[in-house]
A = this chain, B = another copy of it.
Amino acid sequence: MTSSDLFGALFVPDAMREATSDRAWIGAMLEFEAGLAAAEAQADVIPQAAAAAIASACEVGRFDAQALGRAARVAGNPAAPLVRALTEAVEGDAARFVHRGATSQDVMDTASMLVARRALALIAAELDAVAAACARLADEYRDTPTVARTLLQQALPTTFGLKAAGWLVAVLDAQRRLAAVPLAVGLGGAAGTLASVGGAGLRVLALLAERLDLEEPAVPWHTARARVAELGAALALAAGTLEKVAHDVTLLAQTEVAEVAEPAGDGRGGSSTLPHKRNPVRSVLAMACARRVRGEASILLGAMAQEHERGAGAWHAEWQALGGALAYTGGSAAAVREVLDGLEVRPERMRENLELTGGLVLAESVSVALGERIGRSEAHAIVEAASRRAVEAGRPFRDELLDDEAVSSLMSRDELDRALDLHRYAGEAAALVDRALERYRERV
C-alpha cells in the first residue's frame, strides 16, 4: 500500500508500470515454474503429464499479490509462498513435481530476468523513438546557427543540428549498452550444485535456458550479482543520457532563452496559478525519473558482496531496486520521447540570442584569425582587451575591433568581417551531424 498509483501514474506510463507490476513478477515466477517442469519432463526427470498439469496451473489470476507478500515474511521471499500455492493448485499426483530441484532464489532470479526482458523491450521502443526524433532534429536543423554555451555562458556559434546529433549518438550508445547486458537463467538448487535435480541438472539447466530464451550461465550465479548490478548500471547510464536531453530542453526553454518549447496541448505545462507559463513538464518528469533510477542503481551496485551461497539482505534488496530502475528508465524515456516529438524549435530566437553579445561570441574566431599572424597568446590578449572594452562601453564588438590599432594593422576590414561571420564559424558542425546520422542509419 506504499504509494504507487498516485506517483506511479505520474512518472511511469501504464505499459511500463504493468511490465514491472506485481502481476508481472508473479507471471514471471510462474513462467519459471512451468518452464522448469517442461525442461525436466524433456530431460525425463519428471513425467510429461506432470509438466502439463503444472503448466496449466500457472495462471497469474489465481494468485493474490498481497497475500503472497504477507506470507513471504515467513521465508523472506515471495517464491516460497508462491510455490506452496502453486503446489496446492496443481491437480493430483503432479503436485509433487512442482519446483523440483529448484530453490527460491532460482525462481526470483529467473523471474527478475524475465521481468527485465519485457521492460527492456518497452524501454528499447521508447529509445528508438527518442533516437528517431533526435535524428529528425539533427537533420532538419543541420545548418541552423545557435549559440554554444559553456558553464552556462554564451561561448561561440554551433548549430542546433549538432546539439541534436550529440543527443542522438548518446542515445544510440545507451541502447547498445542496454542490449549488451546478458540476461541469464537462474538455476542452481539450494547450494548452487544442482544436486536436487538428480543427475540431470546440467541438461535441465540448458533446456530451461533454451525454453525461456535466456543465456545459460557457466555456473549458478546465486551470489555472483554483477548480472543484476550491470543491468542497474546500464539503466542508470540510459537514464542519465535522457536526463541530459531533458536538462538541455529545460535550459533552452527558459523564458529568457526561449529557443525551444515543449509541445503544448491538453493544457500541458499550464500552471495552476500562473496561466501564462509554458512549463517544461515532461522534461522535468524525465529528470525526476533519472534521479530515482540512480537511487535504485546505487542499491544494486552496493549489493554485490553477497554472503557464501545466498545473500542475507543484499539479495532481498535487489527486487524492488531492479523493478524501479526499469520502470523509471522507461518513464524517463517516454517523457523525453514526448518532449522531442513535436518540440517547438525557434531558429529566429537562436539568431537573436547569438546577437545578444554584439558579436562577442565570435571573439574566438577573431582570435584565431589574428593568432595565425601573431600567435595564440598575443592574439588572445588583444581580443580579450577589445572584448572588455566593448562590454564596458556597451559598444558593438566589431566597432571596438575596427578602432583597435593592433587589429587594424594586422587584418583588413574584409578579413575581420569574415572572422565575424556566424555561418563561417560553425566549424565542422554539419559534417559532424552527418557522421551522427550515418551512425543512426547504420543501426536501423
Contact = CB atoms under 8 A, between A and B. Distances in A.
A229 B220 contact: no
Interface string A198-214: 10011000000000000
A375 B95 contact: yes
B307 A301 contact: no
A257 B7 CA distance: 34
A395 interface: no
Identical chains in the assembly: 4
Contacts of A312: 151-152, 250, 280, 283-284, 287
Contact of A75 (B98, B271, B319, B376): B271
A148 B308 contact: yes
B310 A244 contact: no
Nearest to A303: B291
A243 B193 contact: no
B244 A8 contact: no
A195 interface: yes
B273 A74 contact: no
A125 to B, nearest CB: 18
Contact of A237 (B100, B229, B244, B365): B229
B193 A158 contact: yes
Interface in A101-145: 101, 103-104
A418 interface: no
Interface in A266-299: 266-288, 290-292, 294-299
Given A73-B285, A150-B274, A153-B277, 13 more contacts: A1-B22, A6-B78, A9-B73, A104-B271, A152-B307, A155-B271, A158-B192, A177-B230, A193-B432, A194-B427, A233-B301, A275-B387, A294-B298
20 contacts: A1-B14, A6-B22, A73-B281, A73-B285, A80-B272, A155-B191, A158-B193, A166-B192, A195-B365, A195-B427, A196-B364, A196-B368, A229-B240, A247-B307, A272-B380, A275-B364, A275-B387, A276-B387, A290-B313, A291-B313
Q: Which 7 A-B pairs have the closest CB atoms?
A: A96-B375, A9-B69, A195-B427, A287-B313, A240-B304, A193-B427, A275-B384
